[in-house]
Structure 1
Amino acid sequence: MTVRLLETNPRPAVRYKFSRVFKVAVIFLVIAGVGIMSILISFWYFHVHRGFGGTLAQVIPVPAAIVDGHVVWYSEVVRNAGALEAEAGLTSDEAMHRGLWLAERYEVTRAIGSTLGVTANTDRLVYDTAVEQALLTSAKYQGEARSRIERLQAKLTQGVQFKDLATQYSEGASASVGGDLGYVDPADLPPDLSSVAAVMLPGTVSTITETRTSFWLMQCLDVIAPSDSPIAGGESSTRVWLRVIEIKKDLLGPIIDRAMLTANIKEFGR
């Protein structure tokens, strides 16, 4: 007696399984495609950051712009626009434009921060403060301000009057009166200036003094000791008659403004 084994063919089951996977993949790709198109249409054409497109932008990476080779993502623009619309009362279109500009500006700030060795921080206020602090002590970024005060110091050694230089070049509030502060208590000055002014003698000019935000030259015109004060009852401390020249350091805002003008920025959209 001959026994025939029943033939088994697993192929239909495999094909069925593959067919299901293929269908799921197609459905996923369609949904993803619709989502991406919604984002692209919302941002690139209508500049709308709310609704379906804005929600999907938080999970689907879509580029909004490229700044010097670095991508600015639509998700960041959406967050900026939402905050601006709520806080500043901007329209959706205005909020999107402003949100994109802020995202591009932050990318430029990050580029500057990286050259200064500042560690990235998700808190923008903290990060901006850290970058600015690094800028204020950076020879690279403050070199021009330092050079300007050194040129003025050289003019003083050539015989140019301190008052004339202060009137023409000082960036402080006293420039209009030749840098004249009148009689001041050194203790009322910023600490870096106070320690210098306290030991100055009439007719002397200080070396270049650096504070957090400026470079300074000071000229002492007179010193009144407490016992010499003409005020009844005398003064409790020495008072110094000063003229000053102040050259301000470059702050973060103006540096970023200049960097934005030269940055290679490519925006996607209308």
Structure 2
Amino acid sequence: MDKTLKFPQNELATELAVLREELGNRFFSGEDGDASDAVWVFRLFQGVSPSEWEDLSSKHNLSGWLSLPIDGDAFPHLKRFQETLERLAYQTEHDALTGLANRRAFDRTLDIEIERSKRARTPLSLAIFDLDNFKSINDTYGHPKGDEVLSSFAQKLEQTTRRYDLAARYGGEEFALIMAGSGVVKAQRLLSRLLNEFREIEFVSPDGAKIFNVTCSVGLTCYKGSVDITADEFIKLADDALYEAKTSGKDQVKVSKLPFVDNVPNDTLVHANEKQFLFGGN
């Protein structure tokens, strides 16, 4: 398409949006070949500066279009396109509200860390968090206040953890923390500190008339690579411990049965709960 820009920006934006929708519908419906087919669509805009295109693109969500000058320096345009790709890549791996890793990134990282623990026989701890009575916060104070609580917890979680831990929003009011190299003792100490600090945060009701606090329950499990375990099985151990924390009073950390403890010889004459502590690592 080789046209000259002789009409207002809104009309141009409409034309591009219609073209994008038409091509998108035909591509994804599978009517015109397989996904490997592709076509470049060129549109000449005379008299449009990079800053004007930036404004047009931002207003009308045209980030999918790559702009390049016919005569001039292509670097600013390619840099902008690169930034768009980086932003989209970030969005696919992070939760929009909290900025933490999302479930997709969590699942991928957990698989990697389990395999690393199997190879190196190093401890790997997993914690799953659930904000206590969160539904009542939304019902009483509204969803914007609920979002504020979620964001505050996410910030506290990120501040408390180490650089090489992965904090994720697991779903809804649930969060998860992957702690590579941490055994039960070290992980439990970190989690207890996190719960204490979060419990002290004061939230103000939308009308300013009430101050309230929020607590959190945590299920913790640990793996040392000595037995075969899947990510789903590992998550279930943490989930079961979380259920115990919720049903036995909330606002606490509960540790699951550790998957490697049964491998400890019985002739050590150590009771099961003592094995949990002694062989859970630090």
So what's the TM-score if we normalise by structure 1? 0.26
Q: Which has the greater radius of gyration?
A: 1
Which has more helix, going by share of residues? Answer: 1
